[in-house]
């Protein structure tokens, strides 16, 4: 008896293994034929698989039947599924599709509508039926399902996000946007979901048409329902995404007044504007916060950051007027007198020191300010290090190279593994370059190429390439030493002396590979002196004589920028940007060049 049971179980197991193996083999063959669009072969295997296991193989089997136009078997198969699962209304959609393919549109429509009428108040069933219509690209029926579903659920789940997605697939932008706005009517909790859904609209590949329509419809809602702050929040967010800071400020200001806020969000906007170089809007925002009065929570911060923004705005230009600089100096001194000198106001001392040293040429006063800042009680070590870096720069500018190096070394030693320490190391490497110790400079730069700061790593790479390209190709290092001296003179604002040294390199070493770097340095000096026409000539010379060298793409981009923003020839700039895209497709300037080219051509660029 036990032996008989053993053989029975053995043969049952063996049969199961064979059966499983056969199913697995059939499934693989079915999938292969299906992928190769050999539906006549695939259907044979799917029919066997469906007859054995049913539902899991129903969709593929039905697809094969429809591809082969075997509508009779297809209808029979669907009805079998409907009989087994009468509550699964998606099968009715499959039946309607069969009728549609047979040309019986009235019967197809009747099946679709019958399925929708049978819909119950179950969220899963609503999703299932809508998805069935979406799969067939029957957008209007899917919309009807979601709308009926929302009513059946008595508003417990609105389906607005799903409806927006269907409208988007249908190509109805206005319908999509209105669904997003309608869901915001229900509450602020949906704001993040809507923002996430719209996020893909922005950036380099943003949909300008959609964005403009969103703004238009949003503005209407804001006007119709001024008390509904969620619409204002979304509009502000959208302006920020598109860097339309002026419009964002207008909306934020209205919201700040309506909600009687303390200006926190206005401050955040102003800081974003500064980071993006929109100093005019930043000034307006800071001044708005200051209008709240000295008792305002952000009054001191706004006062300090306003001066910082004005300083950045002034020095960003190459054509500062002396009166403008002295007015800025006066404002700094008044604000420092009002707020006092402390760890909290050290940034004012830093900016004033930069103004004095690099723009008003009062280096002694600048050194005094920074030394005073470094000695301030309770000053964070990181901030103290930043002040020392500025102090080192001023020593270097006045020609006190060794004092500068000592100051940088103090920071490097104290912050060996920090970014500020890496910056100090780079500035010390640059001193070695200035003084002709190229081997030591190169050794330091090789370490800094792996810096966690992309900016430091890029600067280190650029200086390293300059040294590598121009030292070692022969035994003569004089041209590189002369170039380094000119670079230092330019840093010290001794531009005429720097130009004289650069002229000497050209005369004494006309065939040296440093020639393109000399031209680029002359371009940089001309830009400092606001001689834009001369600056353009030097860049043009690089393109004409050194088009295969490493600086060519950089020279081309900078020349295009010069024509666009300084020489007022947009057409010429557009042509140069296009040249860069064609000649240097792998350049680091390609993305920005494409964006600017499209903008100049009149394309909508976000």
Asked if residue 606 has pLDDT above 50, the reply is no
Say if 533 falls within a structural domain: yes
Sign of CA dihedral 593, 596, 597, 603: positive
**Structure confidence by residue, pLDDT tens digits, 407-444:** 999 999 999 989 999 999 999 999 999 999 999 999 99
Say if 431 falls within a structural domain: no
Say if 115 falls within a structural domain: no
pTM, rounded to two decimals = 0.77
Asked if residue 42 has pLDDT above 60, the reply is yes
Asked if residue 599 has pLDDT above 90, the reply is no
- How many structural domains does the chain have? 1
Residue 594 belongs to domain spanning: 476-601
Range in 211-220, 392-401, 508-517 with the lowest mean pLDDT: 211-220
Which residue's entry shows tokens 């804001």? 222
Average pLDDT of the residues of the chain: 89
For residue 198, what are the CA distances in angstroms to 32, 95, 398, 605? Answer: 39, 36, 53, 17
- pLDDT at residue number 14: 42
Asked if residue 201 has pLDDT above 80, the reply is no
278: left (phi over 0), alpha (psi -120 to 50) or beta: beta
| CATH number for 484 | 1.25.40.10
Tell me the mean pLDDT in the region 527-543: 94
Tell me the mean pLDDT in the region 100-116: 92
What gap in Å lies between CA 546 and CA 589, rounded to an integer?
18
What gap in Å lies between CA 190 and CA 523, rounded to an integer?
53
Tell me the mean pLDDT in the region 218-247: 89
Say if 30 falls within a structural domain: no
- pLDDT at residue number 475: 62
Are 341 and 372 contacting, i.e. CB atoms less than 8 angstroms apart? Answer: yes
Asked if residue 477 has pLDDT above 90, the reply is no
What gap in Å lies between CA 345 and CA 332, rounded to an integer?
11
- pLDDT at residue number 196: 87
Query: Quick one: pLDDT band at residue 22, thresholds 50, 70, 90?
Result: low
- pLDDT at residue number 3: 45
What gap in Å lies between CA 550 and CA 561, rounded to an integer?
19
- pLDDT at residue number 285: 97
Burial class (CB in 10 A: 0-12, 13-18, 19+), 563: buried
**Structure confidence by residue, pLDDT tens digits, 257-312:** 988 989 999 999 999 999 988 999 999 999 999 999 999 999 999 999 999 999 99
Say if 219 falls within a structural domain: no
Say if 252 falls within a structural domain: no
Say if 496 falls within a structural domain: yes
Instruction: Record the tokens describing residue 497, joined without a space.
Output: 């002396």
Burial class (CB in 10 A: 0-12, 13-18, 19+), 102: middle
What gap in Å lies between CA 85 and CA 174, rounded to an integer?
38
Say if 74 falls within a structural domain: no
């Amino acid at each position: 008896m036990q032996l008989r049971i053993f053989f029975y179980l053995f043969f049952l197991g063996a049969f199961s293994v064979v059966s499983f193996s056969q199913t697995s083999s059939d499934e693989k063959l079915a999938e292969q034929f299906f992928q190769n669009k050999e539906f006549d072969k695939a259907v044979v295997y799917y029919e066997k698989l469906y007859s054995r296991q049913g539902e899991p193989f129903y969709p593929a089997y039905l697809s094969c039947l429809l591809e082969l136009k075997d509508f009779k078997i297809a209808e029979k198969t669907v009805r079998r599924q409907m009989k087994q699962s009468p509550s699964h209304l998606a099968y009715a959609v499959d039946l309607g599709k069969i009728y549609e393919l047979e040309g019986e549109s009235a019967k197809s429509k009747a099946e679709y509508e019958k399925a929708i009428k049978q819909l119950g108040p179950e969220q899963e069933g609503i999703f299932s039926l809508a998805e069935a219509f979406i799969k067939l690209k029957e957008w209007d029926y899917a919309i009807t399902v979601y709308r009926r579903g929302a009513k059946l659920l008595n508003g417990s789940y609105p389906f607005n996000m799903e409806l927006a997605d269907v409208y988007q697939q249908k190509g109805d932008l206005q319908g999509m946007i209105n669904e997003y706005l309608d869901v915001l009517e229900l509450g602020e909790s949906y704001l993040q979901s809507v923002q996430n859904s719209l996020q893909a609209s922005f950036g380099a590949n943003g949909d300008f048409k959609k964005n403009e329509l969103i703004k238009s419809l949003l503005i209407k809602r804001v006007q119709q329902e001024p008390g509904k702050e969620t619409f204002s929040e979304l509009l502000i967010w959208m302006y920020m995404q598109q860097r339309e800071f002026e419009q964002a400020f207008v909306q934020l200001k209205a919201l700040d007044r309506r909600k009687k806020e303390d200006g926190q969000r206005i401050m955040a906007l102003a800081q974003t504007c500064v980071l993006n170089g929109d100093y005019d809007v930043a000034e307006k925002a800071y001044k708005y916060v200051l209008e709240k009065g000295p008792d305002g929570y952000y009054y001191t911060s706004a006062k300090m950051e306003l001066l910082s923004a004005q300083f950045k705005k002034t020095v960003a230009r190459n054509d500062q007027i002396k009166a403008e600089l002295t007015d800025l100096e006066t404002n700094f001194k008044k604000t420092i007198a009002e707020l006092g000198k402390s760890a909290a106001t050290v940034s004012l001392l830093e900016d004033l020191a930069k103004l004095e040293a690099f723009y008003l040429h009062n280096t002694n006063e600048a050194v005094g300010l920074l030394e005073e800042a470094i000695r301030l009680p309770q000053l964070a070590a990181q901030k103290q290090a930043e002040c020392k870096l500025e102090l080192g720069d001023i020593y270097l500018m006045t020609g006190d190279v060794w004092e500068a190096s000592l100051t940088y070394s103090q920071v490097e030693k104290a912050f060996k593994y920090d970014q500020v320490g890496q910056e100090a190391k780079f500035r010390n490497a640059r001193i070695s370059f200035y003084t002709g110790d190229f081997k030591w400079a190169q050794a330091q730069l090789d370490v800094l190429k792996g810096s966690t700061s992309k900016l430091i790593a890029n600067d280190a790479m650029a200086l390293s390439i300059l040294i590598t390209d121009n030292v070692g190709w022969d035994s003569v290092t004089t041209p590189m030493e002369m170039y380094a001296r000119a670079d230092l003179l330019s840093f010290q604002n001794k531009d005429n002396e720097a130009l004289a040294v650069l002229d000497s390199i050209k005369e004494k070493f006309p065939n040296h590979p440093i020639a393109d770097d000399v031209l680029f340095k002359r371009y940089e000096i001309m830009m400092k002196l606001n001689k834009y026409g001369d600056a353009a000539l030097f860049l043009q010379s690089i393109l004409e004589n050194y088009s295969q060298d490493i600086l060519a793409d950089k020279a081309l981009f900078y020349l295009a920028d010069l024509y666009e923003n300084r020489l007022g020839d947009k057409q010429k700039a557009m042509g140069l940007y296009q040249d860069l895209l064609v000649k240097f497709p792998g350049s680091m300037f390609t993305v920005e060049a494409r964006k600017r080219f499209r903008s100049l051509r009149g394309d909508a660029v976000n």
